[in-house]
């Protein structure tokens, strides 16, 4: 048992913190949301800036608007592509912004700058399969009123936003009750299989033509304009700002659809598509370094292991003592188990949003979130392992003269080892699975290919993350089974206090 | 060796033990008997310091038992319970020597002492490397006795030490135990519900019922001059055991 508290763990912890990738002071981070168009725009900006000698890195699909907005405000990132409608209706809701001019002024108050429009207007559109819309004779959003049985599925962001579903339903007095949240990239699949009838989509989506989707006319002018712009911190390097401004008016609606289609339908990578674009428009040659499957695997594994090792070791160091306290002081124990139970129920995305303002993006908030999710199984199993030791054994230890601390160390913890290890095993498996969500906020790991795979509907990419994650979980399980063999004497492995009765 | 002055214990509304006084003299064995819930276990738990009395005082070899003196006094107690209370994750040897190790005895001293005790309880040293689950019930009790005697305590406390054993093993161990007590001249406080065992070991018997002393004295006092109907009942209910033992003792 003593090994759990040995300095080996601390050493490993320190080592892994030191090699955690961190942005150097000079490096600028351009971030993107988790959908193709935004990634292409961020990649284009990155390549333009790179060509002008700025040290710049593209943090790919960092998350939803909220996460990027927060990261920009805290200076975690330098710039990202955004949409005017999102800014005025979501980020600055309540300020009644009517024009780009007012928007720019409101942003300046927050220390944020905005470029001129890139050109295209990527507004929300309600879409239905052409053939379904035709048969029901629906061409405008107001026509939906006549069909209360239609099934709606909207991207989670659209469901939650002030300028999304809630407002739309009020404006058009839509009666539908079958409405659920669904990942945007999966929504097309649902539409195609006819399990849903109406989805939200973006007017520049590549899929509109591919899936033969009818865009319904916004006959009551509900949706605001969503012109693409870059937003950046006003205290940024003027060269960076100037670079972003070079994009003014460079991409119209049609070109944006073409670029999106190049990625989503032709299966080319965003950096490639962006490189072709900057070469054509700005005569900039970019070196696209496509990493091999093996290189990606090594990098993802490294990132994933770091996340898991730090968070799990820290959780072990904290949760075992908490479990001991819980077992020793019953009233305190109820509180500890209660709190760790509540922490377990916080959805991971919500937790990330809480953590980002404090810890920034990437590794640190992910490690903290994983740490929090790893606590409960270890605390609970330490508690029950100690609690289940027969009273006769506990009392014998005291009466023969062992002080409480020595009894814990020599008798109780060793007897609870099996249970504690089982708790750690559970935590490790949960941890490895949950760590894939770290990719949502730029922590990398096996979640990176999974996320990209979902976005591009590429099963191969999804498996590139999912298979190693599953193998890692099995591996860790095996390691703990080995540790159990080493730590436990033979008669303890199967029955905790089993004694021969004769 | 052990003096109890007016100790009592209450659990909520129930009086577990009414004020009780008594003593165990050097080299004597005092046995507390009675049916379940009579307060005999409470009495033993008070002496081991697992419970604290509501009133009264406990003196071990003239020293008052308190939270301050408890740690040192526990080292002068030997403790054997039903099923032995051995630690299942340690070998027999580790169980026996745990306190000696904790007190930083040198290895040769530990080995020498274990050698003496093996002779005393008549076990071969083959058993030392076994885990409790690999020992029979009787062997476990012998190992448990070695653990209790390791530090050469002044007072032995035994809680139903033969309770879980089958009759043949019980018979052997009972005889061996009595010889050991006599040879070491140890003071023993034993708790049991078994009148046969009480008769066999006890220089003095104390019969408890619902937290109160019904009678104290030798086995012949209890059989020939019972204090009340309950004493007769209690003895008669287990008379066969008692007579077996009387036959053996003679």
Question: Which residue in chain A is spatially nearest to B78 when comparing CA positions?
Answer: A400
DSSP H/E element including B26:
none
Beta carbons of B2 and B189 less than 8 angstroms apart: yes
Q: Judged by CB atoms within 8 Å, which residues 238-257 of A form the interface with B?
A: none
Q: How many CB atoms lie within 10 A of CB A173?
A: 10
Whether A136 and A237 share a structural domain: no
Is the CB of residue B154 less than 8 Å away from at least one CB of chain A? no
The position carrying tokens 């936003």 is: A161
Q: Does the residue A237 lie in any domain?
A: yes
CATH for A139: 3.40.190.120
For residue B88, give the chain A residue with the closest CA.
A497
* Angle subtended at Cα A33 by Cα A27 and Cα A36, rounded to the nearest 5 degrees: 110
- Cβ atoms of B61 and B76 closer than 8 Å: yes
A73 and A133, same domain (yes or no): no
pLDDT of residue A450: 86
Strands of chain B, DSSP E: 2-11, 14-24, 29-33, 55-60, 63-64, 77-81, 155-159, 187-192, 204-209, 212-217
- Inform me whether the C-beta atom of residue B94 falls under 8 Å from chain A C-beta atoms: no
Number of domains in chain A: 3
Displacement of CA A255 from its chain's centroid (Å): 29
Is B68 near chain A, with CB under 8 Å?
no
Task: Search chain B and give the residue with CA nearest A499.
Answer: B133
> Which residue from A399, A411, A495 is facing B87, i.e. has the nearest CB?
A411
d(CA B103, CA B105): 6
Q: Encoding tokens for residue A463?
A: 């498996």
For the record, the structure tokens of B60 come out as: 């071990």
The whole-angstrom separation of Cα A465 and Cα A485 is 31
Contacts of B102 in chain A (CB under 8 A): 401-402, 406, 410
Residues B49, B74 contacting (CB under 8 angstroms): yes
How far is B45 from chain A, CA to nearest CA, in Å? 9
Q: In what order do the strands lie in the sheet with B77-81?
A: B77-81, B155-159, B187-192, B29-33, B204-209, B212-217
Looking at A188, A216, A244, the residue that finishes a domain is: A216
Nearest in space to A216 (alpha carbons), one of A252, A251, A168: A168
Blockwise average pLDDT, block size 10, chain A, 502 residues: 42 43 67 89 92 88 82 90 89 84 92 92 89 91 91 85 83 88 81 88 83 87 89 91 91 88 80 89 78 80 89 93 90 89 85 77 84 92 92 89 89 90 91 85 80 79 88 89 80 49 39
A441 and A350 in a common domain:
yes
B152 touches chain A (CB under 8 A): no
Q: What is the ipTM of this complex?
A: 0.87
Q: Do B88 and A497 touch (CB under 8 A)?
A: yes
Whether the CB of B135 is below 8 Å from some CB of chain A: the reply is: yes
Which CATH number goes with the domain that contains A485?
Answer: 1.10.3720.10
Residues of chain B with pLDDT below 70 are 240-250
**Cβ proximity of A32 and A41 under 8 Å:** yes
Kindly report the nearest CA distance between residue B223 and chain A, in angstroms.
33
Whether the CB of A487 is below 8 Å from some CB of chain B: the reply is no
Using a CB-CB cut-off of 8 Å, the residues of chain A touching B147 are 400
Q: How far apart are CA B44 and CA B2, in angstroms?
A: 12
CA B72 to chain centre: 19
Q: Quote the percentage of chain B above a pLDDT of 70.
A: 96
* C-alpha distance from residue A370 to each of A76, A126, A351, A499, B202 (Å): 21, 37, 10, 39, 63
**Per-residue tokens: A153:** 């599925």
- Report the first-to-last Cα separation within chain B, whole angstroms: 29
B48 CB within 8 Å of a chain A CB: yes
* Best residue of B42, B69, B74, B89 to probe chain A, by most A CBs closer than 10 Å: B89
Contact A401 B102 (CB under 8 A): yes
Q: Is residue A13 part of a domain?
A: no
Residue keyed to tokens 């971030």: A31
Q: Please report whether residue A25 resides in a domain.
A: no
DSSP state, residue A116: P
Determine contact: B89 vs chain A, CB below 8 A.
Answer: yes
Integer Cα distance of B17 and B11 in angstroms: 9
Which of A395, A490, A499 faces B83 most closely, judged by CB atoms?
A499
Contacts of A361 (CB under 8 A, 6+ apart): A31, A59, A62, A63, A67, A71, A76, A77, A441, A442, A443
Q: How far apart are CA B225 and CA B232, in angstroms?
A: 9
Q: In angstroms, rounded to a whole number, what is the distance separating the alpha carbons of residues A398 and A383?
A: 19
For residue B87, CA distances in Å to A186, A220, A370, A396, B149 come to 58, 79, 36, 9, 16
Q: Are residues A117 and A243 in the same domain?
A: yes
Structural domains in chain B? 2-76+155-249 (3.40.50.300), 86-152 (no CATH)
Do A240 and A377 belong to one domain? no
Strand-pair category, B155-159 with B77-81: parallel
- The answer to whether A397 contacts B87, with C-beta atoms less than 8 Å apart, is yes
Handedness of CA A379, A382, A383, A384 (dihedral sign): positive
The parent domain of residue A155 ranges over 124-216
Please report the beta strands in A316-456, taking only residues with DSSP state E, as ranges in sequence order.
Answer: none
In a domain, A458, yes or no: yes
Contact call for residues A41 and A447 (beta carbons, < 8 A): no
Residues A129 and A260 in one domain: no
In a domain, A250, yes or no: yes
Nearest CA in chain B to A406: B102
Q: What is the DSSP string of B97-166?
A: HHHHHHTT--HHHHHHHHHHHHHHHT--GGGGGS-GGGS-HHHHHHHHHHHHHTT--SEEEEESTTTTS-
- Please say which residue of A197, A216, A235 terminates a domain: A216
Residues A381 and A361 in one domain: yes
Q: Is residue A474 part of a domain?
A: yes
Test mutation, A2, A391, A395, A396, chain B, max B CBs within 10 A: A396
Residue A297's SS3 state is helix
- Please report where in the chains the tokens 């161990």 appear, as a residue: B173
Contact A27, A1 (CB under 8 A): no
Same-domain check for residues A271 and A346: no
Work out whether the CA dihedral A484, A489, A491, A495 comes out positive or negative. Answer: negative
Does the CA dihedral B175-B181-B182-B188 come out positive or negative? negative
> H/E element holding A179?
strand A179-181
Dist. CA A412–CA A385, nearest whole Å: 9
Q: How far is CA A303 from CA A19, A340, A374, in A?
A: 10, 26, 18
Interface of A with B in 400-439 (CB under 8 A): 400-403, 406, 410-411, 414-415
Question: Does residue A268 belong to any structural domain of this protein?
Answer: yes
Contact A399 B133 (CB under 8 A): no
Give the single-character DSSP code of B66: -
* A311 and A372 share one domain: yes
B102 close to A (CB below 8 A): yes
- CB contacts, 8 Å: B133 with chain A: 491, 495, 498-500
Measure the CA–CA gap between B216 and B31, rounded to whole angstroms. Answer: 10
Cβ contact (<8 Å) for A499 and B147?
no
Residue that terminates a domain, selected from A216, A246, A265:
A216
Q: Nearest CB to B79: which of A396, A495, A500?
A: A396
Biggest distance spanned by C-alpha atoms of chain B: 56
Q: Which residues of B touch A414 (CB under 8 A)?
A: 89
For residue A80, give the H/E element and its range: strand A79-83
Q: Which helix (H) or strand (E) holds B172?
A: helix B167-184
CATH for A269: 3.40.190.10
Q: How far apart are the first and last CA of chain A?
A: 32
Helix axes A270-282, A253-264, angle to 10 degrees: 140
Residue B163 near chain A (CB below 8 Å) = no
Residues A255 and A399 in one domain: no
Inter-chain touch A401–B71, beta carbons under 8 Å: yes
Residue A428 and residue A324 in one domain: yes
Query: Across the interface, do B135 and A397 touch by the CB < 8 Å criterion?
Result: no
Structure tokens at A59: 């943090």
Same domain flag for A147 and A85: no
Tokens 């036959």 -> residue: B247
Q: Is A187 exposed, middle or buried (0-12, 13-18, 19+ CB in 10 A)?
A: buried
Q: How far apart are CA A384 and CA A378, in angstroms?
A: 10
User: Is position A17 within any domain?
Assistant: no
């Amino acid at each position: 048992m003593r090994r759990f508290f040995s300095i080996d763990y601390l050493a490993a912890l320190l080592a892994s913190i030191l090699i955690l990738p961190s942005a150097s002071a000079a490096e600028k981070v351009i971030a993107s949301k988790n959908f193709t168009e935004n990634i292409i725009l961020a990649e284009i900006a990155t390549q333009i800036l790179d060509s002008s000698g700025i040290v710049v890195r593209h943090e790919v699909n960092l998350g939803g608007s909220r996460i990027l907005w927060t990261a920009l405000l805290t200076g975690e990132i330098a710039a990202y592509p955004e949409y005017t409608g999102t800014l005025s209706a979501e980020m600055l809701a309540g300020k009644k912004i009517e024009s780009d001019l007012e928007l720019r002024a409101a942003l300046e108050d927050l220390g944020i700058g905005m470029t001129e429009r890139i050109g295209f207007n990527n507004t929300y559109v309600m879409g239905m399969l052409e053939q379904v819309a035709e048969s029901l004779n629906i061409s405008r959003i107001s026509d939906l009123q006549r069909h209360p049985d239609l099934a709606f599925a909207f991207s989670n962001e659209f469901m939650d936003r002030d300028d999304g579903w809630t407002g739309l339903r009020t404006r058009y007095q839509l009666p539908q009750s079958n409405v659920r949240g669904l990942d945007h990239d999966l929504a097309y699949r649902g539409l195609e299989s006819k399990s849903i009838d109406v989805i939200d989509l973006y007017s520049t989506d590549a899929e509109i033509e591919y899936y033969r989707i009818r865009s319904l006319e916004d006959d009551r002018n509900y949706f605001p304009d969503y012109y693409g712009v870059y937003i950046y911190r006003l205290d940024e390097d003027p060269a960076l700002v100037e670079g972003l401004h070079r994009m003014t008016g460079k991409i119209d609606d049609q070109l944006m659809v073409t670029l999106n289609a190049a990625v989503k339908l032709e299966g080319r990578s965003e950096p490639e598509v962006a490189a072709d674009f900057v070469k054509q428009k700005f005569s900039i040659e970019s070196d696209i370094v496509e990493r091999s499957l093996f290189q990606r695997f090594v990098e993802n594994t490294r990132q994933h292991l770091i996340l898991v090792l730090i968070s799990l070791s820290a959780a072990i160091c904290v949760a075992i003592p908490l479990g001991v306290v819980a077992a020793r002081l019953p009233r305190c124990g109820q509180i500890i188990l209660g709190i760790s139970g509540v922490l377990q129920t916080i959805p991971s995305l919500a937790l990330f949003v809480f953590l980002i303002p404090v810890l920034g993006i990437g590794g640190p908030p992910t490690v903290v979130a994983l740490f929090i999710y790893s606590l409960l199984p270890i605390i609970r199993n330490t508690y029950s392992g100690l609690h289940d030791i027969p009273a006769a054994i506990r009392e014998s230890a005291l009466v023969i003269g062992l002080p409480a601390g020595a009894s814990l160390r020599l008798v109780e913890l060793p007897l609870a080892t099996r249970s504690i290890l089982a708790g750690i095993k559970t935590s490790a498996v949960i941890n490895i699975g949950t760590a894939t969500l770290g990719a949502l906020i730029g922590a990398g790991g096996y979640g990176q290919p999974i996320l990209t795979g979902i976005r591009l509907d590429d099963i191969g990419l999804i498996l590139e993350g999912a298979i190693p994650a599953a193998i890692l979980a099995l591996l860790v399980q095996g390691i703990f089974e080995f540790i159990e063999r080493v730590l436990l004497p033979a008669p303890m492995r199967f029955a905790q206090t089993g004694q021969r009765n004769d | 060796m052990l003096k109890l002055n007016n100790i009592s214990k209450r659990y909520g509304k129930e009086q577990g033990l009414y004020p009780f006084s008594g003593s165990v003299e050097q080299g004597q064995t005092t046995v507390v008997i009675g049916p379940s819930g009579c307060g005999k276990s409470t009495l033993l738990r008070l002496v081991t310091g697992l419970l604290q009395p509501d009133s009264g005082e406990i003196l071990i070899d003239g020293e008052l038992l308190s939270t301050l003196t408890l740690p040192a006094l526990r080292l002068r107690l030997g403790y054997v319970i039903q099923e032995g209370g051995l630690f299942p994750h340690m070998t027999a040897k580790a169980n026996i020597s745990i306190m000696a190790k904790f007190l930083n005895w040198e290895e040769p001293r530990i080995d020498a002492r274990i050698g003496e005790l093996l002779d005393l309880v008549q076990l071969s040293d083959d058993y030392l490397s076994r885990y409790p689950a690999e020992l029979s019930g009787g062997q476990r009790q012998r190992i448990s006795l070695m653990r209790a005697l390791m530090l050469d305590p002044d007072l032995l406390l035994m809680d139903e030490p033969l309770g879980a054993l089958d009759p043949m093993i019980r018979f052997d161990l009972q005889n061996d135990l009595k010889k050991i007590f006599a040879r070491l001249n140890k003071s023993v406080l034993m708790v049991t519900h078994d009148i046969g065992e009480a008769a066999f070991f006890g220089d003095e018997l104390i019969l408890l019922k619902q937290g109160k002393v019904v009678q104290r004295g030798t086995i012949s006092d209890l059989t020939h001059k019972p204090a009340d109907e309950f004493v007769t009942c209690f003895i008669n209910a287990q008379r066969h055991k008692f007579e077996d033992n009387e036959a053996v003792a003679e």
